[in-house]
Amino acid sequence: MSLPGQINLNDLLIFSAVAETGGFTAAAEKLNVAPAKVSLEIARLEAQLGVALFTRTTRKVALTEQGQTLHAECTPLLAQLQTALDGLHGTQERLSGVLRIAAPVDHGAQMLAPALARFAALHPKLHIDLRTSDRIADLVAEGIDVAIRMGWLRDSSQRAVKLGEFGQFVVASPDYLRRAGTPLSPADLVRHDWVAMTLLPTPLTWTFTSPDGGEHTVQLKARMKADSASALRSLVRHGVGISVLDQFSATPELASGQLVRVLADWQVPRGGLYAVFPPGRHVSAKARAFSRFYQEHLAAGTMDAISQV
């Protein structure tokens, strides 16, 4: 199927897969096609549009500014098209059985549960088993259909769909800042008590981007450590020290004034939100349907609204 201007819909689907997986090979594996086909179709799409959609290096593929714009505009439309097609198919085959979903504790309660309530209402014959834990679940051993993971995927071979991105905030309690003072630059953090999230790959090394685009990396020393966002948030809220929280975990306390953003003009790296599937060629229809539904739910503005706090 071609769109006006002879743009092939399949090319947009391939473009979306590359944008979501971050690589041509990963996109080829997701779509079950040859990597050469992915490269060829992307080159054809770029030639037809007259713009570069990706920057390519030997180590990674990243969206250009034009690519980011196209992805932001096309993703909801492609998701709606797939939902419409699934709806036609669903008149003959409704989702049923058990859908097992794994998610971090805070994200499961704050973001995922409301979406699951809507999804369950759409599929009354489907039983949903939500398993929340801040450890990484063994998808095969635990029979998980899809896991929601936050941050950065350590294993690039995982079968995953990027659902969106989230911000991260440096936060502290008002009491702590009154007692220890407010840091004015990332370098000041080395003189403060830091609370580390041990699940992160480098919990004591943080790179900050300044308003003018410069970067500054600091190596911190942790007075206390925690292995979950809820425990970390509680420690910071009770004045133990300063730390970084994802926007989902930080938003309620920021809104109530129990926590305060520190170094708000400086940015720390954004994290990714992923739907990860068990290894193997087949992804169940219920897992695919939920991941698309959740991607649309997030794209509807929920994440953007939270990031404005």
Task: State the pLDDT at residue 158.
Answer: 60
Task: State the pLDDT at residue 91.
Answer: 43
46-85 residues labelled b (16+ CB within 10 A) or e (exposed): beebeeebbeeeeeebebeeebeebbeeebeebbeebeee
Distances (CA, A) of 63 to 21, 159, 292: 11, 20, 21
Gap between the Cα atoms of 190 and 237, Å rounded = 20
Helices (H) and strands (E) counted in the chain, each on its own, are 11, 16
Ordered per-residue pLDDT tens for the chain, 309 residues? 445 456 778 888 888 888 877 788 878 877 777 888 888 889 888 988 889 999 887 667 888 989 888 888 887 777 667 656 655 554 444 788 889 999 988 888 888 999 999 999 999 989 999 998 878 777 777 788 899 988 776 654 567 888 888 889 999 999 999 999 999 999 999 999 999 998 888 889 999 998 888 889 999 989 899 988 889 999 999 999 999 998 888 888 899 999 999 999 999 988 888 998 887 656 788 888 999 899 888 877 554 444 444
At which residue do the structure tokens 């990597």 appear? 35
Q: What is the pTM of this model?
A: 0.59
CB 162 within 8 A of CB 20: yes
Task: State the pLDDT at residue 1.
Answer: 44
Which residue ranges form the domains of the chain, and what is each CATH number?
2-87 (1.10.10.10), 94-162+272-307 (3.40.190.10), 168-261 (3.40.190.10)
Task: State the pLDDT at residue 176.
Answer: 96
Residues 6 or more apart whose Cβ sits within 8 Å of residue 102: 131, 132, 133, 137, 139, 142, 144, 146, 147, 148
CB 126 within 8 A of CB 101: no
